[in-house]
Each structure stands twice: as C-alpha cells, then as structure tokens.
Chain A
Amino acid sequence: MEQLWITLPALAPDYSGVCSAMFDLGGICVIHDASGCTGNYTGYDEPRWYGSSSKIFCSGLREIDAVLGRDDKLIDNVIKAGELIDPTMYTVIGSPVPMVIGSDMKGIAYEIEEKTGVPSFGFDTNGLGLYNKGVSMAMCELIRRFAKKKEEKISRGINILGTTPLDLSANSNADDLNEKVESFGFQIVGRMMMGAKIQQIEDLAKAEINLVVTESGMEAAKLLKRKFGIPYVVGMPVGNEMDVWEALEQTLQDKADRVVCNEGEDGDILIVGEQVLANSIRRSILNKNPQAKVCVGSMFGLNKQIAGKGDLNIPGEESLVELLYSGKYKVLVGDPLMEDLLSEKCNVRMVKLPHVALSSKLYWDEAVHFLREEMDQLIEEIIK
C-alpha cells in the first residue's frame, strides 16, 4: 500500500518546486491556499527564506471564496501587493483546494497580466506532485516566455540547469559548482535556477552547451535543444572526478547529448536520492571499485532517460522498506530519516546523505558539499 507512509514524512511538493525556481527572479509568487501550503514552503522547503527579500505570499484562501469561486478577490489582492512592490513578474500557484474547485491558474495569471501589463505565470500544481516536477514546470515556462533566439554564441558559454536548494541545499554547493565550471574555462550564461535573473533567461540561447545537474533540469534541456539546438550533458560533478568535464568537452566537439551514467547492478549498495546526484555517486564508487554492485533508486519518479539498467522507481515507503529488508543490500546511501526504517533485522549499514526534499531543516545544515573533499570521504565511507 504505497499511499500509507507510516514512518517517513511526505516529500517536498510541486508548489514548493515552483516557488523555489522563482525565488531569485524579483517577482511576486502567490500560492493559492489557506496557509499551510505556504507554510510548508516557507517553513520547511526553502533554506534561503530566513533573511531573504523574496516576495512569496499566500492567497489566504477561505471556504467561502472556494465555494463562490472568488478568483477576483485573489486577482485584486495580487495587484494590490504589486503596487507596493513593483515586481518583475507575477506567479500564481495552485494547491489542493484550487484543484478540487477547478481553479484555472493559467487563466488567473492571464487576467493579472491583462490588468497590469507585467508578465504573469499560472501553475496548476496541486500538492500531489513532487518538487522536481514543479521546478521543471517553472523552468520550461520561463524559457518559453523569456528565452530569445540569438545569432551570437558565447565561446564555451554554458547554462547550468536544475540547481535548486531542495537538492543542493543552501550551503555553497551552487557557488562551488559555478566556480568549478568556470575553472574549466566555461563562461556561465544562465544559472537555472539558483542565482537566476530574467536577463540570463533571455540570453540562454547564447550558450554552446547545457549542463543538467539534477533531474529537474531535464525537460528544460530538451526544450532548449528543440528551440535553439543546444546540446546537453547530464551529470553532477562530484568530488575530484573528471567524467562530467570530459563529457562536456566531447559534447562541445560533436554536439551529441550525453548522460553521464553507468549501468547499475542490483545488490550491495543502494543509493536513494536525487537521481543525477545518485548517478554521480555510483560513478565515483565504480571509479574506485569497478566490481562494486551499485543500484540507484528514486522516490521522486525514476526518469528512465537518465537511469542505468536496473535502477529502481520507489513509489512509496512500503517499497523502500521491502527493498531494505530484501537481503540484497548491505549499504543504504540516503537521507538520514531513512535510518528510521532500518533495524538489526535488515542488517543494512546507513551512509547519510541529507536531502532537503525529504528531511528539510532537520538536516539541511549538514548537507554534503558535493564538490569538496567531504564528498570523496563520503564515497570512501560507502565502499569501506
């Protein structure tokens, strides 16, 4: 029964993904909800919220508004807030109640744009989908709206796609990644989405190549390929490994898309987490020990385009428990909360890899720096 989660908390939802993606763009975001959905995002899914100036609000949806379909009240309040703030854009974001009453979030956004002349977006998120889909939806909409065809290309210009604190936390991972990319002679055109600006999105087509660092960036990469012919490499560089950098150089030469992902072999080590990062950890393990049996599992919907053979879609807590007690695995690499599922009976050793999209603020201060030595230490801990 995949819908029953006895021990683990729910995963970060789709509307948090949208908000997270929009966070740096200077707009007004409004989650159309009563309070709790916004509280999920601001309190538990956004490590950057404390001290930030981002304008992310709750619509304060009430029963009577839901019953009477008072979209006008939402629109009026959004415009009133806009007069105070002068935003670059408006974003209205759905939650469970708007789904049930059939609110047309895109229609509401259209009306806001008609009245204000400011670019507006509507997302039919509903709290049933997961954050990676929300990030992906937001990125694609922004690209469709703002990215322009460019004749000029920047030599070794690169877009980084899929950075979100829900995967990278708010430690220095995003900055480390930018620095490392530049240290290999690339010029960053677009930072999607940590550190994004509208101008960057307009200029995305100037890049020669896209680097997809999380699953959230996949659809955006495909869209940029279709629209502007930019090839992509999927891979999060970790520690001191060179595979992703080599793949980028090859793709610059032959313009072929690449997914830096090894084939998995079920058994021994199970990595459950963000799929691209999990692939990278597997790669690092196999670089050190080619005989190791390593399998990647995703609780966020396994994307087969970037999966190794035998990688696992884990639709719920029950499936994860079954895997852990199957006797196949000796090591679990995953969020520390997964330790609550283990017991002596399953005899699985836990290696902790905090993931904001699961454990939120419980462990986000302990998130691993993917590009630093501590990642190499984590790999050593896995294979010891």
Chain B
Amino acid sequence: MSCCCTTENVFENSLHYSSPAHGGWGVLKMGHLIPESYTLFVSPAACGRHGALAARMENRKNRVSYLFLSEDDIVSGGYEDLLIQSVEKLIKHLEKCHNVPKVLTLFVSCIDDLLGTDHDALIRELSKIYPHIRFIFCHMNPTSTDTGVPPAVNIQNKNYSLLDVAKERDGGVNIIGNLAPLRSNGELFQILSDMEVSKIRHISDYDTFAGYQEMARSCLNLVVTPTGKYASSQMEKKHGIPYEMALTSFQTECVKETYEKIAKKLGKLCPQVLTYETKAVEALKKVAETLNGMPVIIDGEAIVRPFDLAKALLQSGINVQCVFEQKLIPSDKENYQWVMEHYPDMTILQPQNPKVTVLEKFQGECLSIGYSAAYITGAKHVVDIAGQHGLYGYQGIIDLAEMMEKAAKETADLKKLLDEAVIVV
C-alpha cells in the first residue's frame, strides 16, 4: 500500500466511494426492531429499492410496503390525502392477511425535509381513524448526516419514543445503542446481576409491543454505542430514566472503569473483575503470538471506535498498520490522538475517499478486521464482523481475539461473506 495521509488531511471532504463492502443495517431494519411494527415507506420509488430488497433477503419484506410519490405529489408538496388513502388500503390488506400491526412506522426520505410536510397533523388524523394502531414518522434522510441528529441517531430515538411512561420502576437496566444484542456469554450479565440488577433489557428481546413496554420500567440506561446517547437523553426527559455512557471498549482498563462507573451509578459496589481481566489480557497476548507480526487493518465500519481497538491491539504488541475511518467520532478522539502520538506513521484512510480506488492492493499476509478495509486492501485474512457483532466487555475482547486467530489461519472468501451479510447503504 503506497498511500500515507498526514493527520491534517486525513478526514477530508470529498466525493464518496461506495465499495461493495460498504454499508450496514440501514434505518429500515433498525426501525424493524420495534416489535409488531409495520412500515409504510413514503418516498420517490428509487429511495425504497435497496431497503425492500434487503428486507426480502432477510425475510422482513412482509413488514414493509411502499407508497411511491409522483412528481405531482412532490411539486404540490402535499401527499396527505394520498397517504391516508394508502394507509386505508394497506390496513385492509393486512387485515386480510391477519397481520394488523400494533405500530405503523411511516418512513420518509431526504426530500421530505425540504417539503415541510405536517407530520403531527397526519399522525393526529390517522390516530383518530385507527385508534388501535400507533403511528410514528421515521426518517431515512442521509442528507442530515452532518447534523446533530443524523439518521442512525434519530431512528434509535424513534425506536424508544413509543414507550409509555411506566407507573412503577423496577431494578432492571436497559442496554441502548447496539442493534444486534450483546453476546450472551459476556460477563456484563453476571456483573450486573452481582450489582443486583433484576433484569437486563434490550429491544431485540421482545416479540410483542406490550412486552417491549417493559423497558420503560428500568431504572438505568446503559449506552453501549454513541448513537444511543440522544435516545437515552430523551428517555431521561420523558421517563426520568438516567443513563450512563458505557461504550464498548477493547482496552481492559477502560472496561474496568466502565464497570466501576455503572456500579457507582447504581449505588453498588463493583464486583471483582480481575479474573475476567486476566483472561482478556491472556487472549490478546495469545493472538499477538499467533499473528507474529502479521499486519492488521481495522475497519471503522466493523468497529464503532476503531482507534480504541487500535490502541488496545498496539499496546498488546499487535502490528496494527492501518485504520479505516471515514470521520472521527468525538468519543474516539482521545484514542486517535494516542495512536498518532505513539505511532505517527500509522496509515489512516477514509474508506469512502476516492483515493482508495487507486490504492495498490496490500502485498503479502495481512488481516483485516471488517469487510470494507478487506475489500479495499485485498487482505487475505478477514475477521467476519459487522456492526461490532455484539462484542462487549472482557469477553468481547476474548471473542474478538479468537475471531482474529481463526481468521489468521484461513483465506477468506470475501464475496461470500458479503453475500451472506446483506448490507445496505
């Protein structure tokens, strides 16, 4: 690889390259976390295509239909009547299929932000006609990516905004921010139990809308990825549920600090974590030995805070040579600064920068943690991971180390991995 960027121009503004490995859940799938919900996507036809196809690939197409706006609808700026008629027709269809939802999410796309549709009025009208169904507008508007509430943040807030204020609070804790549930083998569950937490709740635990309402009873929200912070702050306002930032980290000392913070917030003593910590340190040591200097590339699309992981691996003697990250997020800034201070030759690349399309492929053995970096560099070994894969705590470190060891011993079929991953931009 021949490109090496200076820190000044690392995170530059440019056209965006969309590699075959670029993408993730997409907001539609995130919205489908609301149990017993159905989506009517209201947009120009094109906006709905990738979400619909991905839904079909994952057997979720029976949870989404589309209202395609015409040029007339857009020019006139008013599709309210059309929407109400479409909802009527859709609900009749769903009644026939015995699939009437508890929630109808009305997704709109980028152009809706420019049309000024009165969403509140529409919700009021629809709620009057269908009092047994909850309606909510959601946004697939990547034009808002640079705003305070980008799509991935907004949809998390929407997902929890349907929680009604509970009459009683219990000793449960909500895990907020992660899309896939945390891996059940993590020590977090035991540690929280030791802190007398009665129930650990994640939105994906619930099959019913009534069951999901249980989340409003929790006494604390643990925010494990940054995109969950805004939703948690809104929940604090509405429900009075406090939150604690408990971001996934691959640095053992940070994991310990997080558990101590949680204990303090709950007013409990932090259980002993030394045994867990020792195992995590050993796992990192073992993978360093296995890799034996093999270059490692970290992909910011696979790991939410790639510089946190880079720091952890570098401190364990692993040869991290390159980090792919499109835009540095605030919660990873300190780690980035540490990496650049201690490893000033570290290559930082933006996976969507056109520069990567003219990069030479990596020569020799190399391990990529994530798909995009693997595609761009041609890495032979690939850790099959997207969206952090539920990794958390010391066990998350151990699991990742094991995944790295396994990947280092195999030549990956990246195309097959991508076909199976079903990613959406």
Q: Chain A interface (Cβ within 8 Å of chain B)?
A: 1, 3-16, 30, 33-40, 42-45, 49-51, 53, 55-64, 66, 73, 77-78, 80-81, 84-85, 95-97, 99-101, 126-128, 337, 340, 359-362
Contacts and interface: CB of A to CB of B under 8 A. Distances in A.
26 contacts: A1-B89, A3-B86, A4-B68, A6-B90, A6-B93, A10-B49, A13-B46, A34-B142, A36-B50, A36-B142, A39-B23, A39-B50, A40-B425, A42-B18, A43-B23, A43-B423, A53-B357, A55-B354, A61-B143, A78-B15, A80-B14, A100-B115, A101-B114, A128-B71, A359-B53, A362-B57
Given A9-B53, A100-B114, A59 B15 contact: yes
Contact of B45 (A30, A101, A128, A361): A128
A13 B17 CA distance: 20
A59 B141 CA distance: 15
Contact of A5 (B68, B70, B114, B357): B68
B253 to A, nearest CB: 36
Given A3-B68, A81-B14, A96 B425 contact: no
A39 B45 CA distance: 14
A335 to B, nearest CB: 12
Interface in B328-359: 352, 354-355, 357-358
B47 interface: yes
A50 B415 contact: yes
Given A3-B86, A42-B425, A96-B43, 13 more contacts: A1-B85, A3-B68, A10-B68, A36-B140, A38-B16, A39-B18, A40-B46, A40-B49, A50-B415, A53-B357, A81-B354, A84-B355, A84-B358
Contact of B20 (A38, A50, A360): A50
Nearest to A38: B18
Contacts of B354: 55, 57, 81, 84-85
B19 to A, nearest CB: 8
A144 B394 CA distance: 63
B308 to A, nearest CB: 25
Contact of A57 (B15, B53, B358): B15
A23 to B, nearest CB: 14
A171 B66 CA distance: 30
B67 A4 contact: yes
B23 A30 contact: no
B56 to A, nearest CB: 6
A296 B74 CA distance: 32
Going nearest first, the 9 A-B pairs with the smallest beta carbon separation are: A39-B425, A127-B46, A9-B52, A13-B46, A34-B142, A57-B15, A58-B16, A10-B45, A10-B49
Nearest to A54: B357
B50, B109, B418 — most chain A CB neighbours (10 Å): B50
A128 B142 contact: no
B181 to A, nearest CB: 25
B5 interface: no
Interface in B58-93: 61, 65-71, 74, 82, 85-86, 89-90, 93
B272 interface: no
A106 B243 CA distance: 51
B169 to A, nearest CB: 38
A16 B89 CA distance: 30
B56 A9 contact: yes
B144 interface: yes
Contact of A3 (B14, B15, B82, B110): B82
Contacts of B141: 34, 63
B145 interface: yes
A1 B79 CA distance: 14
Interface in B354-374: 354-355, 357-358
B95 interface: no
A127 B47 contact: yes
A38 B90 contact: no
Nearest to A39: B425
Contacts of B48: 9-10
Given A43-B425, A50-B415, A101-B114, A35 B16 contact: yes
B23 A7 contact: no
Nearest to A16: B46
Given A13-B49, A61-B143, A4 B17 contact: no
B74 A77 contact: no
B46 A85 contact: no
Contact of B13 (A39, A77, A100, A360): A77
Contacts of A61: 143
Contacts of B300: none
Nearest to A337: B56
B205 interface: no
Contacts of A43: 18, 20, 23, 50, 423-425
A362 to B, nearest CB: 6
Nearest to A66: B143
A293 to B, nearest CB: 31
A71 to B, nearest CB: 14
Contacts of B93: 6
Contacts of A127: 44-47
Contacts of B57: 361-362
Contacts of A85: 354, 357-358
B44, B67, B419 — most chain A CB neighbours (10 Å): B44
A57 B16 CA distance: 5
A10 B354 CA distance: 29
Interface in B15-54: 15-20, 22-23, 43-50, 52-53
A57 B45 CA distance: 21
Contact of A128 (B46, B355, B419): B46
A44 B46 contact: no
Contacts of B56: 9, 337, 362
A66 to B, nearest CB: 6
Given A10-B66, A43-B23, A96-B111, A4 B53 contact: no
B289 to A, nearest CB: 34
B313 to A, nearest CB: 29
A62 B14 contact: no
Contact of B15 (A7, A15, A60, A100): A60
A6 B65 contact: yes
Contacts of B18: 35, 38-39, 42-43, 56-58
B65 A7 contact: yes
B16 A60 contact: yes
A362 B422 CA distance: 11
A12 B49 contact: yes
A58 B44 CA distance: 18
A4 B90 contact: yes
Given A9-B48, A63-B113, A96-B46, A44 B53 contact: yes
Contacts of B65: 4-7
B97 to A, nearest CB: 10
Contacts of B61: 7, 9, 340
B146 interface: yes
A13 B46 CA distance: 6
Contacts of A99: 74, 111
Contacts of B144: 62-63
Interface string B160-194: 00000000000000000000000000000000000
A4 B40 CA distance: 9
Contact of A66 (B50, B114, B424): B114
A36 B145 CA distance: 12
